[in-house]
Chains A and B, each alone.
Chain A
Amino acid sequence: MVSYSRALKNVLREEAFYFFTSIGNYTGQSASSLDEFLQKIKDVDIKSLEFHLFREDFEKWIALTLGDNKLADEIKNLRAQKVVGNALRDRLYFIVSRRLKELKGASASTSAPVPKERSQLAVL
């Protein structure tokens, strides 16, 4: 099960995602959170999205650093479909924004005050 707070947190500079267009060629764009990652999907060079998707970098960062295996699996499926170009940007943006909304919604509902009986159920 995903930890909503972990998936939505800002990670350390060393753990951020750094966008490259090819081996060793850093674009200057990075993302320290899923929110920031979503914004960068819109702006970053399309070559960078293709490069990282092919190398499985997105799914590894999302699973290992943000701890969100569900989103990592969705991106893995996208990779399997061999989507490229602007279609890739659009699909990736859609997948990540949908998941972000889901996480934020879940996070808000878990952090809201709940009756005692419900909170005990959640623990069980």
Chain B
Amino acid sequence: MKSKGQEGSLDELDRQILAFLQEDAKLTYSEIGNRLSVAHSTVYDRIQKMEEHGFIKKYEALVDLEKIGIPLLTAQMNITIDPKEAENIARKLAKSGQVLEVSTSFSEEFVILAKVVAKDQAQLHSFIAKSIAPIPGVLRIRTAIVTKKYKEERFSLALKENASKKRE
């Protein structure tokens, strides 16, 4: 690893280590080292540096909430807004624990896309009506409740590596 900040500053070994950790963050330094044919101390050093420089943000467990008895309803909101209020609205949404993702987008109109969770439909509606609709600059809201998820993953560096190799 050369310096912090840019993807390009990571070398091939760093990216391979990250790809393994994305798949399974509980892999030991030795296990990663064996797969990459490098010493576990090398893996340790690389991971320490990537943590220090923020390439690795955190390690977390993906909990199956339904299995532990907390079934949550998920919805995708498309909020049409006054562009002048975009920053204010996005920040207010981002502060809420019920809102998991917030991003701005522009097609024909300026919109904020937000992923929100709620206990049930009544609570979802109450949250949107009382906490989102009254925010100044909110013009319209379209909400789609997720009925079934077919895939939910984060972008994997392993996929990127495979794609690069195919191009070569």
Tell me the A residues contacting B by CB distance below 8 Å: 13-14, 16, 18, 20, 23-28, 30
Q: In the bound complex, what is the Cα–Cα distance between A16 and B77 (angstroms)? A: 21
| Contact of A24 with B136 at beta-carbon distance under 8 Å, contacts A14-B130, A18-B129 already known | no
Contact B138 A24 (CB under 8 A): no
B120 to chain A, nearest CB (A): 10
A95 to chain B, nearest CB (A): 23
In the complex, what residue of chain B is closest to A24 when comparing beta carbons? B143
Contact of A24 among B125, B134, B139 (CB under 8 A): B125
Fill in one digit per residue for B11-37: 1 if any A CB lies within 8 Å of its CB, else 0.
Answer: 000000000000000000000000000
| Contact of A24 with B128 at beta-carbon distance under 8 Å, contacts A14-B134, A16-B134, A18-B134 already known | yes
Contacts of B139 in A (CB 8 A): 28
- Residue pairs across A and B with Cβ atoms less than 8 A apart, 19 shown, are A14-B134, A16-B134, A18-B129, A20-B125, A20-B129, A20-B133, A23-B121, A23-B124, A24-B128, A24-B141, A24-B142, A24-B143, A25-B141, A25-B143, A26-B129, A26-B132, A26-B133, A27-B140, A30-B134
| Contact of A24 with B145 at beta-carbon distance under 8 Å, contacts A14-B130, A30-B133 already known | yes
| Contact of A24 with B140 at beta-carbon distance under 8 Å, contacts A16-B134, A18-B129 already known | no
Contact A18 B124 (CB under 8 A): no
Contact A28 B140 (CB under 8 A): yes
User: Is B75 close to A, CB under 8 A?
Assistant: yes
- Name the residue in A13, A18, A24, A25 with the highest tally of chain B Cβ atoms < 10 Å from its Cβ: A24
12 other contacts beyond A18-B134, A26-B132, A26-B141, with CB at 8 A cut-off? Answer: A13-B134, A20-B129, A23-B121, A23-B125, A23-B143, A24-B75, A24-B77, A24-B124, A24-B141, A24-B142, A25-B141, A30-B134
In the complex, what residue of chain B is closest to A26 when comparing beta carbons? B141
A46 to chain B, nearest CB (A): 17
Contacts of B138 in A (CB 8 A): 26
Contacts of A25 in B (CB 8 A): 141-143
Fill in one digit per residue for B112-149: 1 if any A CB lies within 8 Å of its CB, else 0.
Answer: 00000000010011001110111010111111010000
Contacts of B134 in A (CB 8 A): 13-14, 16, 18, 30
Contacts of B145 in A (CB 8 A): 23-24
Contact of B128 among A16, A26, A27, A30 (CB under 8 A): A26
Contact of A26 among B75, B124, B140 (CB under 8 A): B140
In the complex, what residue of chain A is closest to B142 when comparing beta carbons? A25
Q: In the bound complex, what is the Cα–Cα distance between A30 and B136 (angstroms)? A: 12
8 shortest A-B CB distances, which residue pairs? A24-B143, A26-B141, A18-B133, A28-B140, A23-B125, A26-B133, A24-B128, A13-B134
